[in-house]
Structure 1
Amino acid sequence: MKLFDLTLQLNGFPLKEAKQTLSKIQKLNTIEYENYLNSKKHEIVQYHLKHNSFYKNLGKNVNLNDWNSVPVMTKRDLQQPLQDRLSEGFTTKNVYINKTSGSSGTPFIFAKDKMCHAFTWAEIQNRFGWYGIDFNSSLQARFYGIPLDTVGYYKERFKDKLSNRYRFSIFDLSDDALQNYLDVFKTKPFDFINGYTSAIVQFAKFLKTKNLKLKQICPTLKCCVVTSEMLFPDDKLLLEQHFGVPVINEYGASELDLIAFQNPNNIWQVNSDTLFVEVLDEDNRVVPNGKEGRIVITSLYNKAHPFIRYELGDIGMLSETSTLQKPVLEKLTGRTSDMAILPSGKRTAGLTFYYITKAIIEDDGNVKEFIVTQEDKSTFKIDYTGLSEISEIKKDAITTEMKRYLEDGLTIRFEKHNALKRSKSGKLKQFKSLVKQ
């Protein structure tokens, strides 16, 4: 029995219809697809201008024949009561409602109509299917957070049961906890791992200390899908070496859909079925493929709530090989809110500091995890967990690299902890700036 599909259908999400429509979209030729995309873009803007008072006010200067006249929406625009943002005919009773994680610092509640949410699951199932994963039968090892209140905890556990997944809580990543996780892999026929990058990387580091390969312990394992946090090249290599299965990079947003998914040819393929993805400069102009910019996304099917030219808060780049029908995400470099402003006025991606530090302090296996915080324009603090204090030699090396890659005069502070503070969802924010942008 296809319990996962049945559960969605019983909750009013027309998954079967969504899958059929998705299949038709993916079979379109180049000209047919271009016509489809232009039609859906026009249709969704026109719909919300007619049926959504919130969007009607936001888009009062829209010219339906000029896509560039469509305003870019930000998360701040959406920080008002949900009922004020819903389209005519939709209420909190007949839509799917959720809340963003707040990893950008700007959380809000959002809604999708039931067809739109069904499309999300149809897209996810289609992409995971590239690797032989079936949500109705494949057992998932899920590395996620879990609510700690009683009702929320058991609600998630019940959903895990219906969704054929076993959850590993990521709030405790001690060696004892990771050993318990390893013992579970010895007894359950997991098909795939899915979850937050930082926690899964910690599990791989634990396997490395034991000189183990997970595929030998759990032979049924097919792949590992990491999401929600940056996956660095050396961490990907570590996962592949100690899991022994393909490691797939997923990029998504709960308020939208699955945005990009690494295909079997190692290409980060953008979802062009239900989304329209643009990369814009500071003046909201589309940048050429191969150039970085702000990622802006239009949800083509959400009639309950407008996400039209919605600025997600991420910085990325589409490959020069991209086409309208098959866009390729070449690089995702972080969030627009994670830019560091240096004393000279220079701006740089915050993950630059993370890269520099990571390359120096993780090579001996002492440091398990760390985060970098910009306290003021010239001062950076590195909080870390490890077996022992970072040596003075490594501290000096980091300071030297900061000077070489960035500029002189930067101060670096180090502080060792038993555990690092994660968000309520369990994510580990690798860089944050306290400097007003």
Structure 2
Amino acid sequence: MTKEDFLKLPHLTRSELSENFEDIKADNISKADYRKACTSGSTGKPITILHDLRHPETPIRWRILDFWGIEPWENQAFIYRYKRPLKKRIKNHLLWWPTKRIFLAAANFDTQKLNRFINDFNRIKPSLLQGYVDVVFEFALYLLDNNIKINPPKVVWVTSAPLFEEQRLLMEKAFGAPVCDQYGNTEIMLIAAECPEQNGLHIMEDTVHIEFVDKDNQPVPPNTTGKILLTDLTNHAFPLIRYEIGDEGKYLDYFCKCGRPLRLMDNVRGRQSVNIETPSGLRIRGEHLMIMFDKYIAAFKEIQLLQQPDYTVCIQYVPRTSDKEARDAVEEMVHLLKKRSRLEIEVTCKKVNRIKRTTTKTPLIVSHLEHD
């Protein structure tokens, strides 16, 4: 197949994937060769896909760890949203023995749980700390606000949400280690990741083909933002070809100084499927909001923009610093968003104790707008 032939293939949307699960699933595969996985539903209705167990993600994970000088047998620490089932924890312990791996369930942070994790962390001295951006950031703030020092890992690996640069700086200060931004999702786990040069994300080109395209699904030039289409090169149980995941990104027009031949993409800053919208049709992308709000993020433990069907937006926030400092920051964000929306929408703010979660992730934007 030529490149021109490939570009003629129709793209696959999330709704088409959901509605045609049985047609996409391979007919000639044993149940022992795949496992089901479901998306979190943070950008809509959860969808189910299959992972091909004959092509595990582990070698790619080891490649990324090798970027940072971490061997697979070194001790590791993880922060997840919810506690893993006992059976899964026992299996994981036996699988990786004698390597030590500790886990923090962050659904309900409490001082006792945090201090126990910190003690375990300093005892085993893990080379890696990995978790969702928001929960790792919350843990970092706890360390900073309580002046707690931990044994620095070699790297902090964050994923599952866009990373504010202010978050990166605070995490690096808290952990005494560099932060690796990684792009992946439930459908295709490990797509791209930073190396220590941090000049963009190295694309795992031997396992995934990524395209950046315009509204007609045609390639855009390097350094130009486009919709992301993904083709999984190893999942023969549930082949995804030109799958529109809902994110935006761009190729970079240079190779990394580290010398690795893997092409680079820019860090993903937001989902093109979730924007702030106005009645006239103006769309304010998550990428732009991240740039606008970056310098204010340090004032909050958590923050989320909630848009209602009448287009009004409420910025809900959990203060990290003093109430006045957080209020001043969020009011400036309200002003910036009103200005960016050309005063078409009403924007308010609300202090809350916790951001309500319906999934394992905490998206920056939650939209309740109804689209045709």
Change (3 A) 1:330 1:424: closer
Distance in 2 separating the partners of 1:115 and 1:263:
27
| Contact 2:315-2:334 within 8 A present in 1 as well | no
Distance in 1 separating the partners of 2:114 and 2:53:
38
Distance in 2 separating the partners of 1:199 and 1:110:
25
- Where 1:335 maps in the other structure, the secondary structure is coil
Distance in 1 separating the partners of 2:193 and 2:338:
36
- Where 1:313 maps in the other structure, the secondary structure is strand
Query: Post-superposition shift, 1:261?
Result: 0.7
Distance in 1 separating the partners of 2:319 and 2:368:
25
State the AA in 2 paired with 1:284.
Answer: N
State the AA in 2 paired with 1:124.
Answer: R
| Contact 1:298-1:308 within 8 A present in 2 as well | yes
From 235, 252, 268, the counterpart of 1:319: 252
State the AA in 1 paired with 2:284.
Answer: T
Query: Post-superposition shift, 1:196?
Result: 0.5
| Contact 1:87-1:305 within 8 A present in 2 as well | yes
Which residue pairs with 1:126 in the alignment?
Answer: 63
From 174, 179, 200, the counterpart of 2:136: 200
Which residue pairs with 1:436 in the alignment?
Answer: 370
- Where 1:122 maps in the other structure, the secondary structure is helix
Distance in 1 separating the partners of 2:20 and 2:220:
34
- Where 1:333 maps in the other structure, the secondary structure is coil
Which residue pairs with 2:303 in the alignment?
Answer: 370
Distance in 2 separating the partners of 1:357 and 1:330:
19
Which residue pairs with 1:72 in the alignment?
Answer: 11
Change (3 A) 1:84 1:138: same
- Look at both structures and tell me which one has the larger radius of gyration over its CA atoms: 1
| Contact 1:145-1:424 within 8 A present in 2 as well | no
| Contact 2:102-2:120 within 8 A present in 1 as well | no
Query: Post-superposition shift, 1:230?
Result: 1.4
| Contact 1:275-1:300 within 8 A present in 2 as well | yes
From 75, 82, 95, the counterpart of 2:34: 95
Query: Post-superposition shift, 1:94?
Result: 3.1
Instruction: Map 1:42-191 to 2 at 5 A.
Output: 42=1, 66-80=5-19, 82-117=21-56, 120-135=57-72, 137-146=73-82, 153-161=85-93, 162-163=95-96, 164-191=100-127
Q: Percent identity?
A: 27
Query: Post-superposition shift, 1:84?
Result: 3.8
Distance in 2 separating the partners of 1:393 and 1:133:
42
Query: Post-superposition shift, 1:174?
Result: 4.2
Which residue pairs with 1:282 in the alignment?
Answer: 215
Distance in 1 separating the partners of 2:103 and 2:148:
22
Does residue 1:404 correspond to 2:339, yes or no? Answer: yes
Q: How many pairs align?
A: 361
Which residue pairs with 1:266 in the alignment?
Answer: 198
Does residue 1:256 correspond to 2:173, yes or no? Answer: no
State the AA in 2 paired with 1:107.
Answer: P
Does residue 1:344 correspond to 2:274, yes or no? Answer: no
Query: Post-superposition shift, 1:375?
Result: 1.4
Q: Could you tell which deviates more after superposition, 157-166 or 278-287?
A: 157-166
Distance in 2 separating the partners of 1:296 and 1:246:
29
| Contact 1:318-1:331 within 8 A present in 2 as well | no
Which residue pairs with 1:26 in the alignment?
Answer: none
State the AA in 2 paired with 1:90.
Answer: I
| Contact 1:112-1:304 within 8 A present in 2 as well | yes
| Contact 2:164-2:294 within 8 A present in 1 as well | no
Change (3 A) 1:328 1:179: same
Q: Which has a greater percent of helix?
A: 1
State the AA in 1 paired with 2:11.
Answer: V
Change (3 A) 1:346 1:307: same
Gapped regions of structure 2 (runs ≥ 5):
none
Q: Could you tell which deviates more after superposition, 203-212 or 238-247?
A: 203-212
Distance in 2 separating the partners of 1:249 and 1:346:
30
- Where 2:209 maps in the other structure, the secondary structure is strand
Q: Deviations over 1:380-407 (max 9, x none)?
A: 1122223665676555433322233332
From 412, 415, 433, the counterpart of 2:350: 415
| Contact 1:100-1:255 within 8 A present in 2 as well | yes
- Where 2:135 maps in the other structure, the secondary structure is helix
- Where 1:332 maps in the other structure, the secondary structure is coil
| Contact 2:251-2:266 within 8 A present in 1 as well | yes
Distance in 2 separating the partners of 1:232 and 1:282:
27
Q: Deviations over 1:143-195 (max 9, x none)?
A: 11235xxxx61133224413442110011234554334323323222121000
Query: Post-superposition shift, 1:330?
Result: 1.4
Which residue pairs with 2:316 in the alignment?
Answer: 383
Which residue pairs with 1:9 in the alignment?
Answer: none
Distance in 1 separating the partners of 2:287 and 2:113:
29
| Contact 1:73-1:308 within 8 A present in 2 as well | yes
Does residue 1:232 correspond to 2:232, yes or no? Answer: no
Which residue pairs with 1:24 in the alignment?
Answer: none
